[in-house]
Amino acid sequence: MANVICPICHHANHCEAGENKQCWCTEEEFPKKIFDLVPEESLYKHCICKNCLTEFKEKEFLENS
Ligand SMILES: [Zn+2]
Ligand SMILES: [Zn+2]
């Protein structure tokens, strides 16, 4: 599977989505704006890692407060 690298930080994303597995990312909410950071060719193909999601949410929270 090619979907193992986070398109934002280029580290392992630990995606567990597979034939009969569900990944944590399928249950997470991804803010739309996070996809602006993802190169077009990786959009909806490569999992964003939990680190990037958490960091992004924290940043967004700070900016909005
Ligand atoms: Zn990442
Ligand atoms: Zn995933």
Number of domains in the chain: 1
* Collapsed DSSP state (helix, strand, coil) of residue 62: helix
- pLDDT per residue, tens digit, the chain (65 aa), is 457 899 999 999 988 877 778 888 888 999 999 999 999 999 888 889 999 999 999 999 999 88
pLDDT on residue 10 = 94
The token duo for 3 is 């979907």
What is the distance in A from the centroid of ligand 1 to the CA of 19? 23
pTM summary value? 0.82
Distance 65 CA to ligand 2 centre (A): 29
- Cα–ligand 2 centroid distance for 1 (angstroms): 12
Residue-level pLDDT at 32: 93
Place of tokens 């077009």: 40
Give residue for tokens 């630990």. Answer: 14
Domain around 43: 1-65
pLDDT for the residue numbered 2: 55
